[in-house]
Amino acid sequence: MTARLRSSGWYDGRGRNAYIHRAWMRRGLPDDFAGRPQIAIANTASDLTPCNAHLTEVAQAVKNGVYEAGGIPLDLPVVSPGETQVRPTAMLWRNLAAMATEEMLRANPIDGVVLLGGCDKTIPALLMAAASVDIPAVVVPGGPMLTGHFQGEPLGCGTDVWRLSEEVRAGRLDPEEFRRSESAMIRSKGHCNTMGTASTMALMAEALGMTLPGLAGTPAPDARLLQASHETGRLIVDLVTQQRCPTGLLTKASFHNAIVTLAAVGGSTNAVVHLLAIAGRLGVELTLEDFDRIGAAVPLLVNLLPAGKFLMDDFYRAGGLLAVLREVKDLLDPNAVTVTGRPLVEYLDDAQIWDPTVIAPRIAPLQNNAGIAVLRGSLAPGGAIIKPAAASPHLLRHRGRAVVFSSIEDLHHRIDHPDLDIDESSVMVLRGCGPKGYPGMPEVANMPLPRKLLARGVRDMVRICDGRMSGTAYGTVVLHVTPESAAGGPLALVRDGDWIALDVASRTIELEASSVELGAREADVTTAAAYAGPHRGWERLYIDHVLQADTGADLDFLVGSTGSEVARESH
Ligand code: FES
């Protein structure tokens, strides 16, 4: 027997309130609209989030499928933080987008939701929201853009901005040429085409079981994206009938599969903080150590920028995610179920690698043990992470003297000063960039190297920060240092010249100063001042309530789930 629709709580009955709810929604809909599944299309399309601007077209395809299956599709525009535009950093707005979406899903007569995201923070925010409301939900990732070319060479969106700008700073690229590359960087609709955060989170959504299997990674201009969107429209109506909700899908088993996937594809470090936040909404016990433990034995199979060579449309033509997962099927948890009701592992047998230069077979991986490493020690008692696949092998064990920057502005002000006391053995430290300190934990951990070292051919150094790193960036970067400096972490006590020892093999990051000496030091006042920052609005709320990176940087009062019940009527 079909379960009673949630929307019946608004529409059923002969009283005044049900009349109001129905009358205002009719607007040409058929008489029986109120008895059908009401499907929200949570759409992050926005001209100010260019990576998602095409999602309105995707929404139309979803709507066609919803109507076809007997549902009523309903546009639900939601907060859309565009990675390249919003200040001070899109991460500050992830939790706002998640909270606003959650509340609108709960407040409205909605039985199920299709989540349309793409640009970095949008899929995590939508999944956090759906998890906390726990109504049937399916993700349609908007897909990566096609590869642009400049002077005959492919451009990796994001990654090549960092690379070319460093070439300009090193004096090897004419600034005018750099400017000319701008028009070739974004070739088509869609999100960044490297294995950055957007691509990674789309793949995470599929690995978690929250998309149609085989959909994530479909390029935005590819007609198959619209076909899958149409099918997703049909599927969500079925999910409502079955009452298949996120809490039944997003289990420890599905997070296990997401972590295996993250390592195998060489995904963005940002996935760590996003997966922890999503798990926190569900009460799934996921820890930093799970990423290290589960990911440690997983081989790197995907040769994509920023760590490798190719781009997302190459990944898709080479077989896509299912081809990767077939290679590591034995490492996946067979109990994890997808939105279709079937386990993820059941979709792998027909998958095939069509280009082994893009997706390497298990017998010839690009790298063994590709997972994210979790470091602890006197500099990061709550943990820090590093992506060894994006680091320089010779720096994975390194001891050097600290060169400290108190803020990103301090770094920009002094990094190219000829008198800066720094060489390639130094350890660059940037603080004041954690969730509270910035606020919002920006992607600045991959600090630019000093111009004078770039000119000498130095291309990587050990860098340590309490902020995040763009998924499109690379280097020997220790990030998400917890506790952050603005929350009293030892990072605030580091001084120029202190010895710091990094040893990724033993998972340690140590500040070589005695506790007596550190106890006598005062925390950097610059970060303390930043912490006191805004006196009102979202930033104030965020600073007062944001948790540290090791648990996902959610707000303390948003962790967990409220469910979909709303006890009171509106009139
Ligand atoms: Fe939107 Fe990269 S800026 S995905």
Tens-digit pLDDT profile for residues 232-248: 999 999 999 999 999 99
**What's the gap in Å between 468 CA and the centre of ligand 1?**
15
Split at pLDDT 50, 70, 90, the class of 390 is confident
Closest to 98 measured CA to CA, from 118, 73, 128, 69: 128
Q: Is 293 helix (H, G, I), strand (E, B) or coil?
A: helix
User: Mutation test of ligand 1: which of 120, 122, 160 has the most ligand atoms closer than 8 Å to its C-beta?
Assistant: 120
90 ligand 1 Cβ < 6 A: no
107 or 519, greater pLDDT: 107
Amino acid of residue 333 = D
Structure tokens at 534: 């805004």
258 contacts 344 by C-beta, under 8 angstroms:
no
- Distance, CA of 117 to CA of 561 (rounded, Å): 21
User: Mutation test of ligand 1: which of 85, 89, 119 has the most ligand atoms closer than 8 Å to its C-beta?
Assistant: 119
Closest to 474 measured CA to CA, from 370, 365, 366, 388: 388
301 ligand 1 Cβ < 6 A: no
pLDDT at 503 over 80: yes
* CA-to-CA dists, residue 453 to 172, 402, 425, angstroms: 13, 16, 11
- Distance, CA of 512 to CA of 494 (rounded, Å): 10
Q: Is 321 helix (H, G, I), strand (E, B) or coil?
A: helix
Mean pLDDT of the 215-222 span: 98
pLDDT at 528 over 80: no
Q: Which residues contact 212 (CB under 8 A, 6 or more apart)?
A: 138, 228, 231, 232, 235, 339, 340
**What's the gap in Å between 166 CA and the centre of ligand 1?**
20
For 358, half-sphere exposure in the C-beta direction (CA atoms, 13 angstrom radius) is: 20
51 ligand 1 Cβ < 6 A: yes
**Residues 76-100: b if buried by 16+ CB within 10 A, e if exposed:** bebbbbbbeebeebbbbbbbbbbbe
pLDDT at 359 over 80: yes
Q: Which of 27-36, 279-288, 356-365, 463-472 is the least confident region? A: 463-472
Mean pLDDT of the 167-173 span: 87
**What's the gap in Å between 192 CA and the centre of ligand 1?**
5
Mean of pLDDT over the chain: 94
* CA-to-CA dists, residue 225 to 57, 143, 264, angstroms: 10, 8, 24
pLDDT value for 474: 80
Mean pLDDT of the 455-472 span: 92
CB atoms within 10 A of CB 176: 8
83 ligand 1 Cβ < 6 A: yes
Outline where DSSP puts E strands in 252-351.
Answer: none
Helix (H) or strand (E) holding 383: strand 380-386
pLDDT value for 1: 46
Structure tokens at 482: 């917890």
pLDDT value for 558: 97
pLDDT at 380 over 70: yes
pLDDT value for 535: 83
- Distance, CA of 411 to CA of 428 (rounded, Å): 10
321 ligand 1 Cβ < 6 A: no
443 ligand 1 Cβ < 6 A: no
Structure tokens at 51: 């990576």
pLDDT value for 6: 98
112: which strand partners?
Answer: 39
**Residues 329-364: b if buried by 16+ CB within 10 A, e if exposed:** eebbbeebbbbbeebbbebbeebebeeeebbbebee
119 ligand 1 Cβ < 6 A: yes
Q: Which atom of ligand 1 is nearest to the CA of 84?
A: 3
DSSP, res 2: P
Amino acid of residue 339 = V
Closest to 198 measured CA to CA, from 84, 319, 337, 344: 84
Mean pLDDT of the 387-402 span: 93
Q: Which atom of ligand 1 is nearest to the CA of 83?
A: 3
69 ligand 1 Cβ < 6 A: no
Split at pLDDT 50, 70, 90, the class of 516 is confident
CA 10 to chain centre: 35
User: Mutation test of ligand 1: which of 47, 84, 274 has the most ligand atoms closer than 8 Å to its C-beta?
Assistant: 84
**Ligand 1, atom 2, residue with closest C-alpha:** 192
pLDDT at 524 over 90: no
473 ligand 1 Cβ < 6 A: no
307 ligand 1 Cβ < 6 A: no
User: Could you give the dihedral angle defined by the CA atoms of residues 452, 458, 459 and 460, in that order, rounded to the nearest 10 degrees?
Assistant: -100
pLDDT value for 2: 63
**What's the gap in Å between 119 CA and the centre of ligand 1?**
5
486 contacts 436 by C-beta, under 8 angstroms:
yes
244 contacts 210 by C-beta, under 8 angstroms:
no
pLDDT value for 461: 97
**What's the gap in Å between 307 CA and the centre of ligand 1?**
17
Longest dimension (CA), the chain: 80
Split at pLDDT 50, 70, 90, the class of 529 is low
Q: How many residues does the chain have?
A: 571
53 ligand 1 Cβ < 6 A: no
CB atoms within 10 A of CB 241: 18
